[in-house]
């Protein structure tokens, strides 16, 4: 799976061809490995159409369009290593402007 994701053009085609705002949703958990409990990170690159503008008081009740294309990545590693590869993954997916990416995360250590 890792080799296909790295080398296959099809693994990036859908997200490259679609328009929309780029988001990365990420979280982590711990998994029991042969060596011990280790951190596992998951990230999803997605695109969604822009929603209607909302004022601060309506922010939590507005309806956003659902993401219409996604590409997931996951790895058993610490957050710092995982996030250090986002730029490379973004370029692979045709996302060259990292300033236009919204990152959604719980913010827990």
Can you give the residue ranges of every domain in the chain?
2-50+65-98
Which residue matches tokens 């990545």? 73
Q: What pLDDT sits at residue 90?
A: 83
Q: With 80 as the cut, is the pLDDT of residue 2 above it?
A: no
Residues in the chain: 109
Three-class secondary structure of residue 64 per DSSP: coil
Rounded mean pLDDT, 87-106: 81
Q: Do β-strands 21-32 and 37-48 pair in parallel, antiparallel, or remain unpaired? A: antiparallel
Higher pLDDT, 40 or 9: 40
Task: Quick: pLDDT tens for 14-68.
Answer: 777 888 888 889 999 999 999 999 999 999 988 888 888 888 988 888 888 898 8
Question: What pLDDT is stored for residue 32 in this prediction?
Answer: 94
What tens digit of pLDDT does each residue of 87-96 get?
A: 888 888 888 7
Residues 6+ apart with CB under 8 A from 99: none
- Interatomic CA distance for residues 7 and 91, integer angstroms: 13
**How much is the pLDDT for 59?**
82
Q: What angle do CA 38, 40, 44 make, to 5 degrees?
A: 175
How many CB atoms are closer than 10 A to CB 73? 18
């Amino acid at each position: 799976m890792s080799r296909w994701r790295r080398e296959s053009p099809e693994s990036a085609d859908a997200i490259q061809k679609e328009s929309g705002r780029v988001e990365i949703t990420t979280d982590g958990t711990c998994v029991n490995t042969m060596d011990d409990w280790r951190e596992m990170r998951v990230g999803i690159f997605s695109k969604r159409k822009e929603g209607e503008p909302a004022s601060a008081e309506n922010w939590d009740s507005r309806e956003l369009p659902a993401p219409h294309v996604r590409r997931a990545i996951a790895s058993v590693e610490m957050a710092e290593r995982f996030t250090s590869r986002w730029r490379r993954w973004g370029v692979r997916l045709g996302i060259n402007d990292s300033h236009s990416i919204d990152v959604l995360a719980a913010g827990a250590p």
